Structure 1
Amino acid sequence: MPGTAESGARQVYERLHDVGPVHRVTLPGGLAAWAVTGFDALKAAARDRRLVHDPNRVRGAWHGVPVRRYPLDGVSVGRHVLSADADDHARLRRLLRPFFTPEAVALCAPVVRQAVDRALDRFAERGGGDLVADLALPVATAAVAHLLGLSTPRTQELVALSLRLSSSAHPQEPAMTAAAAAMTKQLTAVVAHARRRPADNLTTALLAAYRGGAVSRNELLGSLSFVVFAAVDSTLAVIPAAVLQLLAAPQREVRRSLIEGTADEVSVVEDTIRLAAPFTYGVWRFAAEPLSLGGQCVDAGHPVVLCFPAANVDPRVWPAAWRVRPDRSGPARHVSFGYGPHFCPGAKLGRLQVRTALVELFRRFPGLCLAVGREELLCHENITRHFVAVPVLTGPYRGSGRSCPARPAAGGGPAVIQGTKGLPGQEGRA
């Protein structure tokens, strides 16, 4: 299941939509599952309480889950809001909610803007950079530091460990078990710091809930780990993919309206996010009882995954699905942030990050272009499938004569490639 910004994605999803809204698939590690790709079928599945997130609630879960581990199952087996159901989900979600209200996001806005400005200053100095490591990563790191009340070095350590744990390696490989142990140690230290120096941040709030008996130790550490994972992986996926969507030739007029300030920024960014859904498929769900899904009979215990990028380009719902169209209206809303009870609590913050990065990037560098051919971009085989690197050249500044090549040569310029850092613990594949 490719991300919609990847080469060949359109052919894959159009073929799936031609066949039907629900498909039998094999997940990494050999786990058989049902994949929901149709927009209406996905929304129905997201609301269906017979599809549960916690495999421990299902008798005889399929293929040994949860006793047997599989690649990419880390989000499903932890103790946090995304893997919880019903009352447990509502309880954990209530603890997160105060830190993602409009007022809380407004307090984070200067942090995001400062991170974007600093990143783009470096782009200007070097004539380009990597949209993943040099833009999305520092923006995500700054947001995590703000939410958890951490220093930048401590946050960078957590981010590096989170990226290793979200890779496609088997969770029982030595490197992965070592990363999991290191993550627990780091998070325990983060909680200890909050105990010594309480402040108005998410870590202190979760610690207070733990002391009051509202959450277990595993839920405390799992919730902190989830916030790091959700904030980092989604940002690394969305910002580069959104830029790629707007750099495509058919989007020239939309891009120009954003640069010139004539566009409705919110509408442009919203439909761009539709085409840059971060999670190729969401956290695993399990059928608590036999049910019908999109015309398919799903037996009890079988896993189900919701393919958000596919639903966002369902031609039965989205006319000209592969184009950014700021004028879209009507009841069809994209599902890049999920749908139903598990709609992403950090959606407002995510929108702020993407909007700030996109608007500032294109207005500051209106001649932005890829430093390599699009077919050369590689993607990590993890849940978010974010790109390994997306090197760009800043193109001409306003009033200058320097421009990007008409057909960028592979490798780009030395200032771009040498300044790009790979992300830790992940192997890229086409």
Structure 2
Amino acid sequence: MSQESRLDQDTLDAREQQAADGYDPDAGRGCPHARFVLDPATPSLHADNDRLRAAGPLVPVTAEGVPAWAATRYATLLTVLTHPKLSRDIRHWATRDTCPAGTAIDRIVTDTSMLNAEGDDHRRLRTPVAGAFTARRLQQLRPKIEALTDRLVDALAELPPDEPVDLRKEFAYPLPREVISELIGIPAEHQDALHELSDAVAQVSDTLDDSPDVRRALHELLDRIIEERRDTPGEDLITDLFRLREKDGDRLSSDELFATIELLFIAGHVTTVNLITNAIGALLNRPDQLELLRTGQCDYSAAVEETLRWDSPIAYFPMRYAVQDIEIDGVRLRAGEPVLACFAASGRDPGQFGENADRFDITNPPNAHLAFGHGPHFCLGAPLARIEAEIALKALFEAFPEIAPAARPEDLAPLDTLLGNSTRSMPVLLGPRAR
């Protein structure tokens, strides 16, 4: 059965189930009658997104068993991200008790860090962390990023040049993992165990699969590390947050401090892995674009920004909830209904990026993509992700002038997750190192 046929059948099955539950997604909506079922393991995310955009600006979907509205187009997503009557606070979700436990959506919407806070609470939780991502602090971190990248390139150069190498596992993943460990302050004695668990979360592990048990073990280990760091201060974010808590105990509770550090460690590198992986794949399969970089006609920052637009590291991100009945782009949302942000779909919206929105082209003018969000919840780590990706791409493609893909894009397995958008591997033939 084709992906399109399977999606249609899943849609019919979902509509039948929702009807049995007494839920009518179309009543008074003027929406398309089909309810899309989002498949975390879809082999054609962008084809799914094409159909979602064609179905309307806000489309009824089922995501991991949860009925929601999907903001599919750029302008609609921008509205959703900034609308004063849409909140990330789960208390506004009318049917939150029906969310299946242990899913990716459940993990995100129940997070108690700044991720889901609003208003004064959000500012209280976000402000202490923002200092770690200032331009001055990131510039101080740049030499360490460059040195780590050089070590990874040296390690790649030791591998057989004519045998496939998985650059997601050997390059795109260890770089942001090590950087966020340095920034947060993960002790060396815990890094192997922590990395083994985070490898599974990032889907690069040879021994562990991502699972609720792995996620639980990762959180428990992070909690133990944070507790130990109380007595071993250093020049890192954990120490900064402990000092702030001692100075102003009302600013950050113990639970909030732990949740914040866990969020930064996990979210602070997994999405950057996807960004670097996606950029490598895009450039390897478009030699004309890579040549623009190698000849200096375009800067590597242009490749990073075009990747963020064209192949967002995040596919779908939950949730925002209608605080009251509202109407967006002709669609009425009832109070308490959840809205899913479709970041990958918005990046290829012809209404925003023109008829060639599905084409990767680093010569495009700077674009206002939404890959890092918008408004108060704009990603704090965006500047760090950009620096890491630019340094990584430049070092890789300068070191290996004959690098070539070792598999067709359509043969690469996607991540089995609703949230992330990338492939589980990025096999290449490196060729000899430049002399």
Asked whether the two chains share a fold, i.e. TM above 0.5, the reply is: yes
Q: Which amino acid aligns with 1:39?
A: Y
Q: For residue 393 of structure 1, what is the aligned residue in structure 2?
A: 429
- The whole-number CA distance in structure 2 between the counterparts of 1:265 and 1:181 is 38
CA shift for structure 1 position 378: 0.9
Q: For residue 174 of structure 2, what is the aligned residue in structure 1?
A: 138
Q: For residue 412 of structure 1, what is the aligned residue in structure 2?
A: none
Q: Residues 149, 65 of structure 1: CA spacing in aligned structure 2 closer, same or farther, 3 A cutoff?
A: same
CA shift for structure 1 position 293: 2.5
- The whole-number CA distance in structure 1 between the counterparts of 2:58 and 2:345 is 11
- The whole-number CA distance in structure 2 between the counterparts of 1:141 and 1:61 is 37
- The whole-number CA distance in structure 1 between the counterparts of 2:128 and 2:39 is 33
Does the CA contact (< 8 Å) of 1:279 and 1:385 recur in 2?
yes
- The whole-number CA distance in structure 1 between the counterparts of 2:304 and 2:333 is 36
Q: For residue 199 of structure 1, what is the aligned residue in structure 2?
A: 234
- The whole-number CA distance in structure 2 between the counterparts of 1:396 and 1:135 is 17
Structure 2 residue 284 is matched with structure 1 residue 243: no
Q: Which amino acid aligns with 2:222?
A: L
Deviations 1:139-198 (A, max 9, x none): 02211221111234523433443565688xxxxxxx955445433432232223322121
Does the CA contact (< 8 Å) of 2:87 and 2:320 recur in 1?
yes
Q: Residues 2, 39 of structure 1: CA spacing in aligned structure 2 closer, same or farther, 3 A cutoff?
A: farther
- The whole-number CA distance in structure 2 between the counterparts of 1:98 and 1:166 is 26
CA shift for structure 1 position 374: 2.1
**Pairs within 5 Å for 1:270-285:** 270-285=305-320
CA shift for structure 1 position 112: 1.8
Structure 2 residue 260 is matched with structure 1 residue 223: yes
Q: Residues 371, 253 of structure 1: CA spacing in aligned structure 2 closer, same or farther, 3 A cutoff?
A: closer
Does the CA contact (< 8 Å) of 1:184 and 1:221 recur in 2?
no
Does the CA contact (< 8 Å) of 1:108 and 1:146 recur in 2?
no
- The whole-number CA distance in structure 1 between the counterparts of 2:254 and 2:153 is 40
- The whole-number CA distance in structure 1 between the counterparts of 2:425 and 2:299 is 29
Structure 2 residue 383 is matched with structure 1 residue 342: no
Higher mean displacement: 287-296 or 239-248: 287-296
Structure 2 residue 142 is matched with structure 1 residue 109: yes
1:290 to 317, 322, 325: 325
- The whole-number CA distance in structure 1 between the counterparts of 2:302 and 2:273 is 21
CA shift for structure 1 position 396: 5.0
- The whole-number CA distance in structure 2 between the counterparts of 1:166 and 1:80 is 21
Deviations 1:229-256 (A, max 9, x none): 11221022111111111122xx322210
TM-score by length of 1: 0.82
Q: Which amino acid aligns with 1:223?
A: T
Count of residues in Structure 1 that have an aligned counterpart in Structure 2: 383
Identity of aligned residues (%): 28
CA shift for structure 1 position 295: 2.1
SS class of match (2:158): helix
SS class of match (2:327): strand
Q: For residue 101 of structure 2, what is the aligned residue in structure 1?
A: 69
Does the CA contact (< 8 Å) of 2:326 and 2:333 recur in 1?
yes
- The whole-number CA distance in structure 1 between the counterparts of 2:274 and 2:334 is 33
Does the CA contact (< 8 Å) of 2:226 and 2:238 recur in 1?
yes
Where structure 2 has 5 or more consecutive residues not aligned to the other structure, the ranges are 1-37, 204-209
Q: For residue 293 of structure 2, what is the aligned residue in structure 1?
A: 258
Structure 2 residue 194 is matched with structure 1 residue 161: no
SS class of match (1:357): helix
SS class of match (1:132): helix
Deviations 1:83-113 (A, max 9, x none): 2111111111101111101111112212222
Q: For residue 78 of structure 1, what is the aligned residue in structure 2?
A: 111
2:420 to 384, 395, 404: 384
- The whole-number CA distance in structure 1 between the counterparts of 2:66 and 2:321 is 12
Does the CA contact (< 8 Å) of 1:33 and 1:302 recur in 2?
yes
Higher mean displacement: 349-358 or 261-270: 261-270
**Pairs within 5 Å for 1:181-200:** 181-200=216-235
Structure 2 residue 347 is matched with structure 1 residue 312: yes
TM-score by length of 2: 0.81
Does the CA contact (< 8 Å) of 1:258 and 1:363 recur in 2?
no
- The whole-number CA distance in structure 1 between the counterparts of 2:202 and 2:95 is 22
Q: For residue 27 of structure 2, what is the aligned residue in structure 1?
A: none
Does the CA contact (< 8 Å) of 2:43 and 2:414 recur in 1?
no
Backbone CA RMSD of aligned residues? 2.5
Higher mean displacement: 12-21 or 230-239: 12-21
Q: Residues 277, 155 of structure 1: CA spacing in aligned structure 2 closer, same or farther, 3 A cutoff?
A: farther
Structure 2 residue 124 is matched with structure 1 residue 91: yes
Does the CA contact (< 8 Å) of 2:46 and 2:344 recur in 1?
no
Q: For residue 172 of structure 1, what is the aligned residue in structure 2?
A: none
Deviations 1:360-393 (A, max 9, x none): 1112112222222322211222211432211111
- The whole-number CA distance in structure 1 between the counterparts of 2:211 and 2:43 is 29
Higher mean displacement: 221-230 or 275-284: 275-284
- The whole-number CA distance in structure 1 between the counterparts of 2:284 and 2:329 is 35
Does the CA contact (< 8 Å) of 2:94 and 2:336 recur in 1?
yes
